[in-house]
Amino acid sequence: MEDFVRDFVSETTESLGALDNDLLQLEANAGDLELVARIFRTVHTIKGTCGFLGLNRLRRVAHSAENVLDAIRKGRVTVSPETVTVILRSFDTLKEIVDTLGARGVEGDGDDTALIADLDAINDAAGASVVALPAPAAAVEAPPLSELEAALDSAWNATPVPAPAAPPAPPVAPAMASPVASAVPPAATSQPAASDTSAQSIRVSLDLLETLMTSVSELVLTRNQLLQLARNSKDGALVGPLQRLNQVVSELQEDVMKTRMQPIGNAWNKLPRIVRDLARDLNKKIELQMTGAETELDRQILELIRDPLTHMVRNSCDHGLETPAARLAAGKDETGIIKLHAFHEGGHIVMQLSDDGRGLDLPRIRAKAVERGLASEAEVAGMSDTQVGNFIFRAGFSTAATVTDVSGRGVGMDVVRTNVERIGGTIDLVTRPGNGSTFTIKIPLTLAIVSALIVDCAGQRYAVPQISVTELVNADSHGEHRIERIRDTSVLRLRDRLLPLVPLREVLGLAMPGSVEAPGDNRLVIVTQVGSYEFGIVVDRAHDTEEIVVKPVAQLLKNISVYSGNTILGDGSVCMIIDPNGVLARTGRVDTSAANGDLGHQMSGIDDRSEKLALLLVRAGRGMLKAIPLDLIARLEEIQTDVVFHSNGHMLIKYRDRLMPLIAADPEVSMEPGSRKQVLVISEGERSMGLVVDEIEDIVESAVVIELETGRPEVIGSSLVNGQPTEIVNTGHFLTLAAQDWFKPTSLKSGPRGKRVLMVDDSAFFRSLMLPVMRSCGLEVVPAASGEDALSQLEAGERVDLVITDIEMPGISGFELARRLKSEARWQNIPIIGLSGHADQDAIARGAEAGFVRHLPKLARDGIAEAVNEIMQMETQA
Amino acid sequence: MSASRQAQALQLVSVEVVGQSWGIPIAAVREVLGPQSLTPVPLAPPAVAGFLNLRGRIVTVLDLRATLGLGRTEEPERATEIVIEQDGELYSLMIDGVGDALTFPASAMEQPPQIMDARWRGLTDGIIKLDGKLLLVLGLDRMLAAVATAA
């Protein structure tokens, strides 16, 4: 018997066993639709699976039973004891057939016509349209499974596989063989069935494995204590046995851990065959590409994800991909491609299933959603494609015009979502009309083993999952990587930027915010990223890394978002696991609900977050406070004015073995010898300049709204920052002053020349900020203050080579602008870059859908310049 | 459910906290522990003293004193603890000492008097009069709810 037949038998036996009780409950509780749905799904799954295994007897019974259950589900048939009796009878028959299949590898003989007639009678009485089975399957007596398998296998295995000690193949009977074929006594075809089922593997309950694992952990601890004792004792006789114990325990631990982990490929191995068979049934050409099959996940999760995945792949084959003729007509390759990709990401396992088919039928879904009262006409019209697509996850939502045997009863996607959410996962979809759909399933590793960095903070140890650690930086108060404290905020000088810091002590309430630490203290900075926001978590020091088993946090502490779980370390102590998402959320610095891409946010549609910006507030001269966006500043330095020398009316300083020009941020900044001044280093590529100020005041988060344009080139305008009138410094102006040739396109060897970029942003401030970046790329900037403005400028004949647009704008959003440009032939070839303050997964997906070539965080100067150069070069070559 | 419980006898383990005896339903009790090393949990509700590892299971340690509004146990690492299981999770209550296992007819339990401290009343399922003293029956659900809300 082949593996998947055996799997089918054991799974089906299990699910049928669970159904008896459900059915009895149904009799008592006829109105329980959830219960009906569950029973229906199980039968649906059984029918689907036996369909491709060629188990026709099973399939016919399951199909008729399913019809009845469907009628109950839709309220056409009421649950009477008679109905339940007939359904129970059908389940008994299913069980009997499955048992026979398990024992003998064939469905066995039996006459189900009476049962099927009874089932159909219930359905007919309800006036339902019975879904007929495809004729050939019903007409033919089921051939013994082994023959069918042999026939399939010979077709399937075009390339030879390592022959599994090939049993002498029974003569292959053609499918239309005489009924005698099915009457062959089991003994004649039976291969060594007993050894087949009993060898290799057994089923062990997860509870047992869990207990085993707990015991092993305990054993490890005891061993560690013994080793410790032995090290301190002089008794040499202990050494040998202890070493052996040590080794054996380690191996045992490893093996027990392994019993829980399986490559995701184990859940995929049935798929190629399913896809192949479906392709044949549907007359389509389908290629299944799978990558990341080795990604390991907890077996429990694997089991739970197997069925949903199968449903999804079936859906993609059936609804997603077009017929070869339709594909050719649409200018695509005849063969449709389904890609399955798995990988680890940020403490999650992500599985992506994409097809290059026709995409979801959005107009139909819109209509259906309105018809079913899920949303009003107006609401549906205002929804994005992704939001509309999400309707398919609603129970009973199927738009397939015809109910087919493969899928399309409105079962499937709601089952998928239910199963994924049950294990704390999420499912998302992006659909591109005409170009296919991508489903992304994200499952947390709650049950999995992860590698974690164990760190010290205020005398306690905490675990930080390695997957969320970008980089570790040893920081001290005088070396290369210094921690600067500016009022209540700390920042780290890391290469060419200032990284905002979050001290773990403060987050955990173990130190007052802004409390001064002793100078000379060494600290460890864990650089991490949430969404597009990069920051550092400050801890005291690192211990080492450990493989930890993530255990869920006790119910009492569930709402403390800083912890994602807890674990027991090698020495037996309990250790909390830190979740960077939660850490950031506690600081209130970034709206993490957006970074997490939670459903509520997705469903709420256009987000109204105001764009906040980290600003460095400085004093220079006696005027207003001045503010400079923190992202534009590479470093902060303090200098003695004595080391500044003057040449040709310019101030210069030796800085990192180069000469760096200095410019006072205000003419009133006095450079008299013997004083100390603060210098903000601003870098552009290899070059740097220093902006001299009197004092650094603070770092604040604030929205910047230019309220007053001053007409002075060194100031973009003034704005209220935390209630204080503040001038926003135009760094571009100072950069130009510092090096006259800084922005001349000629200084670029290979950059684009004379290209024009349409810079769309509702904030004059951001437009001014981007100006020097664009100019340094050799681009001429055409500003637009809104999406509407951009469209009217293009309409008026403005020719540009590139569009860079903000996303969150009143009126036409960046997404909408991209969609409109892409829908017009004259503009659709202009590449579009989207900029946003918070480039989370969801936004990136939406951007890609709308037609962005790149989606970058705002103020990532280098990133933007790089992307622009790259795109312009591609354009030139094209 | 409540009817059958009434018919059954009450089986309690008595524990001592600052001179007062409390009865804990014996069905929930798992074991009694001596001094344990604890992992404190910053940001947790004040009555959560930390976590301990009980043969591979993580147990939430609650300071019964804090829950009763009697301040905190001074040396949590040296306290006696009684481990209970509630809704599939293990909790360990820091106490001063363990007394006997006691059995009472269900009728022995009375409503706590109105004059009792409101906080204590909120934690008590009922009271049982012993010779010369009162045994307060600790309501585990009530206690956990009180711990969670006293953030």
Q: How far is CA A797 from CA A24, A791, A794, A820, A826, in A?
A: 73, 10, 5, 16, 11
Q: Chain A interface residues facing chain B, Cβ-Cβ under 8 Å?
A: 213-215, 217-218, 460, 508-510, 551, 554-557, 560, 562-563, 566, 568, 572-576
Report, as an integer, the average pLDDT of A15-43: 74
Q: Is B53 on the interface with A (CB under 8 A)?
A: yes
Angle at A796 between CA A794 and CA A801, to 5 degrees: 30
Report, as an integer, the average pLDDT of A270-283: 84
**pLDDT for A445:** 57
* Whether the Cβ atoms of residue B43 and residue A508 lie closer than 8 Å to each other: yes
A318 confidence band (pLDDT: 50, 70, 90): confident
- Does the distance separating the beta carbons of A509 and B42 come in below 8 Å? yes
* pLDDT per position as a tens digit, A681-695: 887 656 678 899 988
Task: Point out the least confidently predicted range of A280-294, A800-814, A826-840, A849-863.
Answer: A849-863
* Structural domain includes residue B10: yes
> Which amino acid is located at A338 in the chain?
I
Largest CA distance in chain B: 44
**ipTM of this predicted complex?**
0.88
A44 confidence band (pLDDT: 50, 70, 90): confident
CB pairs under 8 A between A and B: 57
Task: Point out the least confidently predicted range of A33-47, A296-310, A435-449, B111-125.
Answer: A435-449
The verdict on domain A449-590 having CATH code 1.20.20.10 is no
Nearest by Cα to A94 from A17, A24, A36, A37: A17
Domain at A3-160+167-198, CATH homologous superfamily: HPT domain (1.20.120.160)
Answer CATH for A265-444 from 3.30.565.10, 3.30.300.10, 3.40.50.2300, 3.40.50.620: 3.30.565.10
Residue of chain A with shortest Cα separation from B43:
A508
Task: Point out the least confidently predicted range of A779-783, B77-81, B108-112.
Answer: A779-783
User: Which of A219, A559, A574 should we substitute to test contact with B (largest number of B Cβ atoms within 10 Å)?
Assistant: A574
Q: Which of A460, A557, A572 lies closest to B40 in CB terms?
A: A460
- Does the distance separating the beta carbons of A214 and B43 come in below 8 Å? no
Residue B51: both structure tokens together: 């976590």
Q: Is B93 on the interface with A (CB under 8 A)?
A: no
How distant is the Cα of A557 from the closest Cα of chain B, in angstroms? 6
Q: Report, at the CATH architecture level, how domain A612-738 is classified.
A: Beta Barrel (2.40)
* Whether the Cβ atoms of residue A414 and residue A38 lie closer than 8 Å to each other: no
CATH number assigned to the domain comprising residue B50: 2.40.50.180
Report, as an integer, the average pLDDT of A482-511: 79
How distant is the Cα of B149 from the closest Cα of chain A, in angstroms? 9
Residue A735: both structure tokens together: 């950069």
Q: Which residues contact B149 (CB under 8 A, 6 or more apart)?
A: none
A33 confidence band (pLDDT: 50, 70, 90): confident
* Structural domain includes residue B151: no
Domain count, chain B: 1
Domain that holds residue B10: 2-146
Q: Is the pLDDT of residue B84 over 90?
A: yes
**pLDDT for A134:** 45
How far is it, in rounded angstroms, from Cα B58 to Cα A754? Answer: 66
Assess whether the region A3-160+167-198 and the region A746-877 belong to the same CATH fold.
no
* Whether the Cβ atoms of residue A679 and residue A687 lie closer than 8 Å to each other: no
- Does the distance separating the beta carbons of A572 and B41 come in below 8 Å? no
Q: Is B37 on the interface with A (CB under 8 A)?
A: yes
Arithmetic mean of pLDDT over chain A: 75
| Strand ranges (E), A559-686 | 563-568, 574-578, 612-619, 625-629, 635-640, 645-647, 650-655, 658-664, 676-684
Within 10 A of A294 (CB to CB), how many other CB atoms are there?
Answer: 9
* Structural domain includes residue B41: yes
Q: Is the pLDDT of residue B144 over 80?
A: yes
Q: Is the pLDDT of residue A701 over 60?
A: yes
* Structural domain includes residue B79: yes
A176 confidence band (pLDDT: 50, 70, 90): very low
Q: Burial of A287 by CB count in 10 Å (0-12 exposed, 13-18 middle, 19+ buried)?
A: middle
Report, as an integer, the average pLDDT of A201-226: 77
* Whether the Cβ atoms of residue A510 and residue A457 lie closer than 8 Å to each other: yes
- Does the distance separating the beta carbons of B56 and A555 come in below 8 Å? no
Report, as an integer, the average pLDDT of A844-870: 77
Rounded to a whole number, what is the distance in angstroms from the first to the last CA of chain B? 32
* Whether the Cβ atoms of residue A698 and residue A692 lie closer than 8 Å to each other: no
Residue of chain B with shortest Cα separation from A567:
B58
pTM: 0.48
pLDDT higher for B79 or A858?
Answer: B79
Q: How far is CA A588 from CA A340, A502, A505, A701, in A?
A: 37, 11, 16, 10
- Does the distance separating the beta carbons of B43 and A508 come in below 8 Å? yes
- Does the distance separating the beta carbons of B41 and A576 come in below 8 Å? yes
Angle (deg, nearest 10), helices A299-315 and A239-260: 20
Query: Per-domain residue ranges for chain A?
Result: 3-160+167-198, 206-260, 265-444, 449-590, 612-738, 746-877
* pLDDT per position as a tens digit, A430-476: 888 888 899 998 886 545 456 789 999 988 999 998 877 888 988 87
* pLDDT per position as a tens digit, A555-600: 888 888 899 888 888 777 899 999 888 888 887 654 433 333 332 2
- SS3 assignment, position B41: coil
CATH topology (fold) of A746-877: Rossmann fold (3.40.50)
Q: Burial of A764 by CB count in 10 Å (0-12 exposed, 13-18 middle, 19+ buried)?
A: middle
How distant is the Cα of B105 from the closest Cα of chain A, in angstroms? 33
